[in-house]
A = this chain, B = another copy of it.
């Protein structure tokens, strides 16, 4: 029959296990669960990128048969959706009272969070927005509102920061990848004559990504602050 388990991880998932006191290390897999599937999927993605996630491999790693996954998950796409949102679940920053500083920390954490799992950056533009991502957007909007941004301008501000951060993250992750795999000869070749400006500023050689992100973010926030009627 069609798998209709649906529903969140209501099942205890972690505990229970029961395994009747068997071995320790290569322990008898404590049975499948959505949480375990997603966690293992993230492991595989971290290890070998997008191509590293195969349903068979995922099942193997879980000590299960390939088709067993499909009782918990509709299809591979869903696994990717869940893995992506799982990455965004971990927040590693604490709020501060200064709204501007708060936003900066928030977005820097967001970015570093995705860069820790470089596959997520290239995946995000392809998938729907998960709940964890929505929560982050809400926090961002709240901080801006707290900072005095009027509702009429709030959407523009939110999207601008989002766009900036996503672009920076994706670009950064993309470069890391091309450095590793050295994709063919399409690699950016900027010549002195064809690209004098880029060549002069050594655009592609400067690797202070964090600094560029931070300073660009400052520019954007300055732009918001510069508008009359807003802090």
Binding site for B on A (CB under 8 A): 74, 77-78, 81, 121-122, 125-131, 134-135, 137-138, 141-142, 145, 151, 154-160, 162-168, 170-171, 173-174, 177-178, 183-184, 186-190, 194-198, 200-203, 206, 212-213, 215-216, 218-224, 226-227
Contacts and interface: CB of A to CB of B under 8 A. Distances in A.
Contact of A223 (B196, B213, B223): B223
Given A159-B203, A220-B220, 18 more contacts: A127-B186, A137-B195, A145-B197, A156-B215, A156-B216, A157-B216, A158-B198, A158-B203, A159-B171, A163-B164, A163-B213, A164-B164, A166-B166, A166-B167, A167-B170, A219-B220, A219-B227, A223-B226
Contacts of A121: 125
Contacts of A151: 200-201
Contacts of A220: 160, 164, 219-220, 223
Given A219-B220, A222-B226, A171 B160 contact: no
30 contacts: A77-B184, A78-B184, A81-B184, A81-B186, A121-B125, A122-B126, A126-B177, A127-B186, A129-B188, A134-B198, A135-B195, A138-B194, A138-B195, A138-B198, A142-B197, A156-B212, A156-B219, A158-B198, A158-B201, A159-B212, A160-B219, A162-B171, A163-B166, A164-B164, A165-B167, A167-B168, A170-B170, A218-B223, A219-B224, A221-B223
